[in-house]
Amino acid sequence: MAGPSPSSSNLSQNIDPSRSDSASVYPASQSYPPPPVPVPSSGDSAGGASSLAKPEKGLALYACGHCGRRYSRPEHLQRHVQTHTLGRRFACSICGKTFARADLKKRHETNHENDDTKKRRRTTSLNTGRVTHACKACATARVKCQEEKPCQRCIRRGLTCVSSEASSSAAMNLVHLSASARSKTPVDDEHDSSNASAEYAPTSFPNPTSYPTDQPSLYSQNTHFHAHSRSATPNTVDLPPSSEAGSSSQAGTDQLPFCDFLRDVLYEQQYDQSARIPENQGLAVLNFCNDSNMELSDMDFGLLDHWNTDGMASSAPVQQETPKSPVDMDHMRQNLVTAWDVSPWRWDPVANDNAFGEQGNLPVSKRDVASIQAQASKGSFRRVVDQKLDFAARDGVLALVLGACQPDTMSSRISGSFPSADLLDTMLHVFLNSHTNQVSDYIHFPTFKLNEQEPEWIAGAAAAGAVLIPVPTLRKFGYALQESIRIVMPRRFEENNKEILNIGLIQAIVLGQDTGLWSGNRRKMEIAECHVNIPVTMMRYRGKFQRSSYPMLSVTPADEGANLEQKWRTWVDMEKWKRFVFHLFLRDSQQSMTALTNPVMSYAELTLPLPASKELWCAKTAKDWKDAYLRREAGHMKRAPSVGDLFRDLNLLPENRHRLDVQFSAAIYLQAFWLLILEYRNLCSSCRTRSYIQDTYEGSSSLLAARRHQLLQDLQTFKTTTTNWPEVTAQERLLLNQLMMALHISMDDLQLFAGKEGDEQAHRTFPVLQQWVESVDSRAAIWHAGQVLRFAKLFPPAQLKNFYAVGVHHAALALWTYGVITKAGSQQDMSSQHEKVYIDGPEAMSVQQYITMGQGVPVIRGPNQRNGATEASVENPKTTMEAVHDILLANFGGTNKMAPAIVENLSILIRQLGNVAWAVGLG
């Protein structure tokens, strides 16, 4: 290949001054030669190019690779290329006319302000402008198409309407243009303005994967990184051909605002930042909420009605999924762009947001559709208690719901078609079955009587079970029922204040809050979080947090009959309160870790003993309980230790191992430890210091460094102590590594870098994270993030949800940040030159060498499959996020159809992290 001419060298250097070598202005990922661009090297050559574009006044160095039009400024070239790759994407809100540029649309809308007639509205429609993508039939015939597919012409002629949407390779041209040229001027280039309305047919580029992989790119030899530059710009990133380049999930990734945001943060800007339109937005890293429509459709009504019928022997017909049409893909992209605009953890109420908006989901119509009870009759889930809800209990729930109805016209609809006792019984047993799998179980099943529970408790449990069933209709009903109970609960306590001592009613409040906190719906999550202090305050002022409320019982071998029964019942009542208090504490700490907010409860006020052993708690009779009590409590004159006692001396945990519910106690200790880490992080934030920032460690910094060292040592001691304990399951191991990761990286820094508070804060955090990537802390942090994924793969089926799914997301964010910054600052791919270090595997010598000296390349593996697990280098954010995405969904059968809403939203968010990194050439 001949070397570049001097003129072409000047051209590339003017586009990106940081490059010391010539490079093409075309995307490096293209594996085909672009059309020749005439660049004037002298006055004669300039004149020879007049057939393609009229030369501008002066020297026009920047040429379009599609049509040959030349410009004197790079931002004009970039603005012009958008007309080729993005089309007319800005529509007038008044008349619907479309434009290729935002400033032209704004100027056009200004002209409407003094337009007193409706002439413009009458003469202009949505179909007068060019469509975004014409179908292939209309494009071949060179006739006008429509935005709505299938178009009317294809319908009339009986043709197959297939979109001729430009490939993702064309859209990615913007990514590889200089990130330096991002400013806009109010004065439009005359050639750009004239070309804005010109007709242009998108070129269909060949798939890069169709070429041999061993053939080097035509431009890879001319693209390299500056050794002393801050990081490579998108022009210098050599994006290899990807087999997914033409996939629908990535075809529009560069149109997401966060792609531009990430480019601006990573790459140095050579032009005035103040002139840039502030439209870049960060990724809502905590926005795993689902604010979709909760209304029931006609199909939902029919489905609910069939669950109320008795004839349920027939199974549901299997429906074949059909591939989505191009119109569906466009709609998906619009929703995807909208998702980036929503701020995390912020609910902006609108006029129709109220407590009665979901009452339309409560009535049930009378149609025959597939039944969940048919699965229940076949034994698809086990019954924890051999009890069935009776009609009187069902009517009590209905009375509560009718008491929350507004307006009164809804009462007749709901009372006439409320779910039957059988359907509510199914929901209840789904919840009870799930309750046995959670760490903080507080329902004593040996003494549990289903039909003797409060109607509020039955309704809350039924709602909690309905949202666990992977059927959208039942989930809508469950959330509507939860909303109704939330409305009527305060009335019960106001009518009789003594009810604050009723543990059943307080449990009903907590059941509704648990459903809302992990619903994935922003409104429900915020309302539930606002009310979490209500049950906490009730129990705090009743002394349920204090050790004095749980005295030791004197049990002797001579205890029999009514005396033994009374002692057992007394112990059960105390243990129920104790476990319920710790359930609230775990939930409070988990919510604090999720949202990075201060908790409502403090470990210092919990002086009550830790939960008793499972054998005592699950004893079915008083005699079984006495035998276990005498065996486990023999020789102990003191009560079991509290969580504060474990902070003072962790050896109390193995010494009292036979007396305690070890799994529950370990979870309490670790969740309380989060409050210590949060205190440390708050002090670091106030002192503006980080462990990975180079400073002198004087004053407060040295004290914080010592505190951090002590916290790490305490967690390491807990890990060593419980290494071989089978009671400490994958859930506690995941939490332990999540805590250790939080001591090596601030989650606030990760969220700021991802755009939680905008462009300015992300720019401020980027140099801090650059120091983190070069430190031992970064390698230790991603090691623990990999361990989070390791234990996530060991979770029982359908249990990697709620807080634990958020933990996987936090680990993914740490891996993504490390990969993005490392990839942006690296000079070449080093993955094939060093030994692989599996950070999601057991600890080995290679792991220690990597953490301490940086030897090796960190790698994670996806979920185990028949053909083995896929591997992904952490330095490749795209493949890493795909692996994490697969791990999260593998716990639910590999599909989001079976996953709860919050897991589904998190999986989508994790995949988007990989896509935006790929879109800017970092994958």
Q: What average pLDDT score do residues 652-675 get?
A: 97
In our burial notation (b when 16+ CB lie closer than 10 A, e otherwise), range 132-167 reads bbbbbbbeeeeeebbbebbbebbeeeebebebbbbb
Segment 301-337, tens digit of pLDDT:
555 555 554 434 333 343 444 343 333 323 333 333 3
Most confident of 9-18, 144-153, 230-239, 462-471: 462-471
Ranking 17-21, 549-553, 818-822 by mean pLDDT, the lowest is 17-21
User: Confidence class of residue 55 from pLDDT cuts 50, 70 and 90?
Assistant: very low
**pLDDT band per the 50, 70, 90 thresholds, residue 191:** very low
**Residue 232 predicted with pLDDT over 60:** no
Which strand (E) or helix (H) includes residue 520?
A: none
Please give the span between the terminal C-alpha atoms of the chain, in angstroms, as a whole number.
Answer: 28
Residue 218 vs residues 72, 238, 267, 344: alpha-carbon distances, Å: 26, 11, 24, 43
The answer to whether residue 105 is domain-embedded is yes
Domain hosting 102: range is: 91-157
pLDDT of 39 higher than 60: no
Q: Which residue, chain included where needed, has tokens 């205190």? A: 679
As a whole number, the mean pLDDT across the chain is: 74
As a whole number of angstroms, the distance between CA 235 and CA 225 comes to 10
Out of 30-39, 482-491, 850-859, pick the least confident.
30-39
Helix, strand and coil percent figures for the chain, each rounded to 5: 50, 0, 45
Instruction: Identify whether 366 is part of a domain.
Output: yes
Residue finishing a domain among 482, 514, 531: 531
Mean pLDDT, residues 121-127 taken together: 43
Higher pLDDT: 526 or 186? It is 526
Name the most confidently modeled range: 17-21, 205-209, 443-447.
Answer: 443-447
| 590: pLDDT strictly greater than 90 | yes
Q: Which residue has the higher pLDDT, 163 or 153?
A: 153
More confidently predicted of 738 and 232 = 738
**Model pLDDT for residues 412-450, shown as the tens digit of each residue:** 777 776 888 888 998 999 999 999 999 999 999 999 999
Neighbours of 95 (CB within 10 A): 19
Ramachandran class of 593: left when φ > 0, alpha when ψ lies in -120 to 50, beta otherwise:
alpha
* Greater pLDDT, 794 or 523: 794
Residue 675 has pLDDT above 90, yes or no: yes
602 or 231: which carries more pLDDT confidence?
Answer: 602
Between the CA atoms of 253, 255, 259 and 261, what dihedral angle is there, to the nearest 10 degrees?
Answer: -160
Q: Once rounded to an integer, what is the mean pLDDT over residues 752-781?
A: 86
What is the total count of domains within the chain?
2
User: What's the confidence (pLDDT) of residue 702?
Assistant: 82
Q: What is the pLDDT of residue 187?
A: 39
By DSSP bridging, strand 836-838 and strand 857-861 are parallel
Of 216-225, 297-306, 343-352, 679-688, the range with the lowest mean pLDDT is 216-225
Residue 240 has pLDDT above 80, yes or no: no
CA 911 to chain centre: 9
pLDDT(218) > 50: no
Give 609's DSSP letter: P
Instruction: Kindly report whether the peptide bond that precedes residue 407 is cis, defined as omega within 30 degrees of 0.
Output: yes
Alpha-carbon Rg for the chain, nearest whole angstrom, is 32
Block residue for tokens 């890879």: 220
User: Region 116-120: what's the mean pLDDT?
Assistant: 47
Cα 457–Cα 462–Cα 467 angle in degrees, nearest 5: 130
- State the pTM of this model: 0.68
Q: CB of 880 within 8 A of CB of 914?
A: yes
Contact at 8 Å (CB) between 786 and 860? yes
Residue 261 near residue 281 (C-beta atoms within 8 A):
yes
> Long-range contacts made by residues 109-117, C-beta under 8 angstroms, separation at least 24?
none
Residue bearing the bigger pLDDT, 261 or 164: 261
Q: What is the pLDDT of residue 349?
A: 61
Q: Of 142, 157, 172, which one is at a domain's C-terminal end?
A: 157
342-346, 409-413, 456-460, 787-791: the lowest-pLDDT one: 342-346
The verdict on residue 125 lying in a domain is yes
Q: Is the pLDDT of residue 298 over 60?
A: no
Q: What is the mean pLDDT of residues 749-778?
A: 85
Tally of residues, the chain: 923
- Is the predicted pLDDT of residue 632 greater than 80, yes or no? yes
Q: What is the distance between the alpha carbons of residues 477 and 457, in angstroms, rounded to a whole number?
A: 17
Tell me the C-alpha distance between 249 and 329, whole Å: 9
Give the confidence band of 95 by pLDDT, cuts at 50, 70, 90.
confident
DSSP 8-state symbol, 640: P
Alpha helices in 49-113 (DSSP H): 74-85, 102-111
Q: What are phi and psi of 399, to 5 degrees?
A: -65, -40
Residue 833 DSSP label = T
Given CA atoms 177, 30, 167, 189 in this order, what sign does their dihedral have?
positive
- Burial of 230 per CB tally in 10 Å (0-12, 13-18, 19+): middle
- Last residue of a domain, which of 481, 508, 531? 531
Q: Identify whether 914 is part of a domain.
A: no
Residue 403 has pLDDT above 70, yes or no: yes
Instruction: Decide if 146 is inside a domain.
Output: yes
Query: What pLDDT does 62 receive?
Result: 77
Contacts of residue 147, defined as CB under 8 A and 6 or more positions apart, other chains included, come to: 126, 127, 131, 132
**Which band of pLDDT confidence, cut at 50, 70 and 90, is reported for residue 2?**
very low
Residue 666 has pLDDT above 70, yes or no: yes
Report the run of H or E that residue 166 belongs to, with start and end: none
Q: Is residue 442 part of a domain?
A: yes
The larger pLDDT score, comparing residue 702 to residue 253, is at 702
Of the two residues 323 and 293, the one the predictor is more confident about is 293
- Selection from 253-257, 371-375, 688-692, 716-720 with the highest mean pLDDT: 716-720
pLDDT band at 194 (very low <50, low <70, confident <90, very high): very low
Per-residue pLDDT tens over the stretch 701-737: 788 889 999 999 999 999 999 999 999 999 999 999 9
What does the pLDDT read at residue 647?
Answer: 96
Pairing of strands 857-861, 871-873: antiparallel
In angstroms, the Cα distances linking 794 to 414, 789, 888 are 43, 9, 11
At residue 665, does pLDDT exceed 90? yes
Q: Is residue 379 in a domain? A: yes
The token duo for 301 is 């009504």
Q: Is 561 contained in some domain?
A: no
Nearest to 157 by CA among 138, 142, 131: 138
**Are residues 814 and 867 in contact, defined by beta-carbon separation less than 8 angstroms?**
no
Query: CA–CA separation, 67 vs 59, rounded Å?
Result: 18
pLDDT band at 456 (very low <50, low <70, confident <90, very high): very high
Count the neighbouring beta carbons within 10 Å of the beta carbon of residue 27: 25
When pLDDT is cut at 50, 70 and 90, the band that residue 87 belongs to is low
Q: Percent of the chain at pLDDT above 70?
A: 64
The winner for highest mean pLDDT among 50-59, 323-332, 551-560 is 551-560
116 pLDDT higher than 60: no
**How far apart, in whole angstroms, are the C-alpha atoms of residue 190 and residue 55?**
11
Better pLDDT: 406 or 647: 647
Q: What are phi and psi of 871, to 5 degrees?
A: -110, 145
Angle between helices 455-466 and 472-495 (to 10 degrees): 160
Q: What percent of the chain has pLDDT over 90?
A: 40
pLDDT of residue 246: 37
- Averaged pLDDT, 369-374: 46
Q: What is the pLDDT of residues 275-285, one digit of tens each?
A: 333 333 444 44
If you average pLDDT over each of 235-239, 492-496, 533-537, which comes out highest?
A: 533-537
